[in-house]
Amino acid sequence: MSGKIKADFYIRRKSKLLALFQEDLEVAKHLLLENYDEEKVQTLLGDILKEYENILPEAQYVGGNKNPFTFYLIGAIGVFSIIRVLEEEGLTYREIGEFTFRYHEILNEKREENLKKVGQSHADQIFTADYMQFMKDFAKKSQQRTFPGDWILEVIDGEGQPFTYGFNFTQCGSNELAKKLSLQRYMPFICLGDFAEATAGGFGFTRTQTLSNGAPICDHRYIKGGSTPRAWPPETVQEFIDQSE
């Protein structure tokens, strides 16, 4: 069944995915309450859930649970749902960008707190020999382009470099879905979630360019034991500085 496009992968999991997304929506609710009353926020949350159901069938199959990036694609569906509603509500491009970043920031902080409760951390997980071998195998397989709209990447060895390891992405599944939904202009803000993930996870992360900003690659670099600055406002981040020049 390898290579077969499972168009109903997300639909068959809709109830579970909606339940998980509703947990994340508690973060969105917290942020929305800064500007709207409870009644209005409940209406907006209802609209977001409807958008989620509308977008779900549009998401491309990239290998399901065998692909670690399926998790990120499902997360992107939620963010796209929020963006559509905020756009309809009349928020500016910049306001939506900041909302998106803060949403990712809080989500990642909460996930790191949950890992700590069981004696784990994100930093511990992504610098192991097993993880690196898994990603090298996955990167090699990604070059086969089995699934349209999947992530395509190569692993960059950090030996002799100021980083532990890196990934160069030549295609991003979230970016591909954003194009399909006509929401690609928001992807540079969504990409900043990678900085929020690293800040919460306690490791270093750098990037100088992204596909979403029109570059040929996304050059992710990870530093064990490093630190990551807060990536808002985005003009402080290299990928935005280069794009604006």
3-state SS class at 170: strand
Q: How far apart are CA 122 and CA 136, in angstroms?
A: 19
| Torsion 180-181-182-184 (CA) sign | negative
Instruction: Write the CB contacts of 205 (distance below 8 Å, at least 6 apart in sequence).
Output: 194, 195, 197, 198, 220, 221, 222, 223, 226, 228
Kindly state the DSSP code that residue 60 receives in the 8-state scheme: P
- Point out the residues of the chain with pLDDT beneath 50: 1-4, 245
| Nearest-10 Cα torsion for 216, 218, 20, 70 | 70
| CB of 87 closer than 8 Å to CB of 32 | no
What's the confidence (pLDDT) of residue 1?
38
d(CA 208, CA 237): 8
pLDDT given at position 7: 67
Q: Which helix (H) or strand (E) covers residue 135, if one does?
A: helix 129-142
Q: What is the pLDDT of residue 5?
A: 57
Name 107's Cβ contacts closer than 8 Å, sequence gap at least 6: 24, 27, 196
